Amino acid sequence: MTDAATAALPGPSPTIVRGSGSAPGQRRLPGWLRWVAPLVVGALIVLAWWFWVDVLGTAPRMLPSPFAILEEFVRRWPIIAQDMAITATNALIGLVIGSLLAMLFAGLAAAARPLDGMLAPLVSALAVIPIVAITPILNTMFGASSQFGRQAVATIAAFIPVFVNVLRGLRQTRPVHRDVLRASAASGWQTFRMLTLPTALPYLMTGLRIASSLAVIAALVAEYFGGPADGIGTAIATYAKSGRATLAWAYVLGGILIGLVFYLVTSLLERLATRRSPV
Amino acid sequence: MTQDRSLSERGTSPAKRAAATPSALAVRAAGVSKVFATKTGDVPALSEVDLEVAAGEFVALIGPSGCGKSTLLRLIADLDQATTGTLEIFGKPAKRARADQDYGIAFQQAGLLPWRTVGANMSLPLELHGTGKAERVARVAELAELVGLTDFIDRYPDQLSGGMQQRVAIARALAARPKLLLMDEPFGALDEMTRERLQTELTRIAAETAAAVVFVTHSIPEAVFLSDRVVVMSPRPGRITDVIDIGLGEHRDEALRESPEFFDRVTAVREALHGSPVTRAGES
């Protein structure tokens, strides 16, 4: 009884609309409000932060005011941009190579059952290992002046979600579509190109979106474990240790920007790939 | 021998009968059986089916679920292989006929590729066989005209209603100008209004293209309205129990649905399906 009654109730969204004080009878949030609402929340958080640091003055010493961080970011932009380029390049190389390898192996696994049986446990093992844990070893292996260790970590981090999603996507073709292509005497390659690949594309894009964030995180965190003295992560660690809080935070902002760009670009690709809903 | 359902006995038009020499058979199935191997043992789906469909003839396969009508259609289409028996499409083995695109097929689900436009879906079989772009564009225009979707060529399937999607699927089946059209409950998921309209259109399309049609359905009025012959099947194991000549002529329109001849044939098919005369209301 209770469950049925609860299920019959309207979803939470109309309640929110009513609570947000929009005109009576208006059921959907207007488009602009969906953009403005999170911005307002963000602004409120920044204001509270500023109030705590600059007005109350009770914040810890390592937490400067948001405006001081922004000012520092603008002033130090030339050196921050250099380090951002290092980290972003490592993440991008990792994302591209990891994704390409993942597509290759997912294709092999989808094509041959025995290969799938060999690869699946390996990928599961890779997925549960905290990849950054091996970074110090890689750094020592390839020398303190090589970015290779960081790129390798980003590659492994990006590989897993792309592999899992592409492999799933390659198996999503619907029986009726396979029948249509078979009835039209399509060759194996034609079926792959015209059905299997387009079906898997949205899954690839989802994998890429997840992998893009992971690659950035992996490339950045890997810098905490040695290697060359450049990159966002190295700078944050250095300036945090030497007490230059504002500059450390400005670098954090740089890291956020890299992550945001990677995420937005791959999200856009995903939306383009999934705009045609299945019928 | 399958001459018990020989060509001269069919209720086809004189023109069709004249053309129906043995080599003009669209489908010839002799002693066709199909057994599906499952974990719990072999399941017989079709047993000793004999069927001949003349060129240009419209044949409906009707029967309850599990009677093997869809299985028979899939065997004709070479989507599955018969366990025993011979199956010829225009005198060729089913596999050759499939490779030569001698037939077009439509299913209950339209099965359109969502990332392709209506036009690109219609021309898919042509594209698979390397037809040039100019020829494809011309053929798509013809097909769209035939199924009444000229204004929708550049739309995507998710912008179309179920009935429109099914028309695209029929156009796709006709793209390579096959002389045989295989249809597996193509209107099964549509509402009654759309369904009747598409039935009328299908009789027109079948007449215009002069293609033979094998049409699987579980609707008696649909089978009677569309067909020259209705093949009645029964389950466990799937087999043909009766073949009924409809003989309502070439021209089928809405008035036919109200005519006494139509109801006579509906009754005949219903009795064949139930295996005994059906008591009519008011006649006890």
CA A203 to chain centroid, in Å, comes to 15
pTM given for the model: 0.75
B71-100 mean pLDDT: 86
pLDDT tens-digit map of A37-57: 889 999 999 999 988 888 888
Q: Determine the pLDDT at residue A21.
A: 42
Residue B59 tokens read as 């044949």
CATH number of the domain enclosing A200: 1.10.3720.10
Among B89, B96, B115, the residue to mutate for chain A (most A Cβ within 10 A): B115
Q: DSSP character for B123?
A: T
Cβ contact A180–B110 (<8 Å):
no
Confidence of residue A26 (pLDDT cuts 50, 70, 90): low
pLDDT tens-digit map of B148-164: 888 898 899 888 888 88
For A23, list phi and psi in degrees, rounded to 5.
-60, 145
Asked whether the predicted pLDDT for residue B283 surpasses 60, the reply is no
Q: How far is B236 from B170, CA to CA, in rounded Å?
A: 31
Nearest CA in chain B to A185: B99
Sign of CA dihedral B200, B205, B207, B213: negative
| Bridge pairing between strands B25-38 and B41-54 | antiparallel
Cβ contact B98–A183 (<8 Å):
yes
Among B71, B80, B113, the residue to mutate for chain A (most A Cβ within 10 A): B113
Cβ contact B107–A179 (<8 Å):
yes
Nearest CA in chain B to A174: B111
Q: Determine the pLDDT at residue A279.
A: 54
Cβ contact A183–B77 (<8 Å):
yes
Confidence of residue A277 (pLDDT cuts 50, 70, 90): low
**What is the residue range of A199's domain?**
70-273
B230 Cα to chain A: minimum distance (Å): 24
Whether residue A45 is contained in a domain is answered as: no
Asked whether the predicted pLDDT for residue B131 surpasses 50, the reply is yes
* ipTM > 0.85 for the complex: no
Chain A CB contacts of B112 below 8 Å:
279
Chain B CB contacts of A198 below 8 Å:
113, 115
What residues contact A251, with CB distance under 8 A and at least 6 apart?
Answer: A80, A83, A232, A235, A236, A239
Closest CA to B112 of B166, B58, B74: B166
B110-122 mean pLDDT: 90
Torsion of CA A136, A140, A142, A143, to 10 degrees: 120
* CB–CB contacts below 8 A, A to B: 62
Among B75, B89, B128, the residue to mutate for chain A (most A Cβ within 10 A): B128
Among B109, B116, B122, the residue to mutate for chain A (most A Cβ within 10 A): B109
Collapse the DSSP code of B56 into the 3-class scheme (helix H, G, I; strand E, B; otherwise coil) and give the result.
Answer: coil
B3 Cα to chain A: minimum distance (Å): 30
Cβ contact A176–B109 (<8 Å):
yes
Question: For A180, which of B103, B111, B158 is closest by C-beta distance?
Answer: B111
B85 within 8 A of B253, measured Cβ to Cβ: no
Asked whether the predicted pLDDT for residue B79 surpasses 50, the reply is yes
What residue ranges do the domains of chain B occupy?
3-102+178-274, 113-177
Cβ contact B109–A277 (<8 Å):
no
CATH classification for the domain delimited by B3-102+178-274, as one of 3.40.50.150, 1.10.10.10, 3.40.50.300, 3.40.50.620 = 3.40.50.300
B213-227 mean pLDDT: 90
Residue bearing tokens 């009025």: B221
Nearest CA in chain A to B116: A276
Q: Determine the pLDDT at residue A165.
A: 92
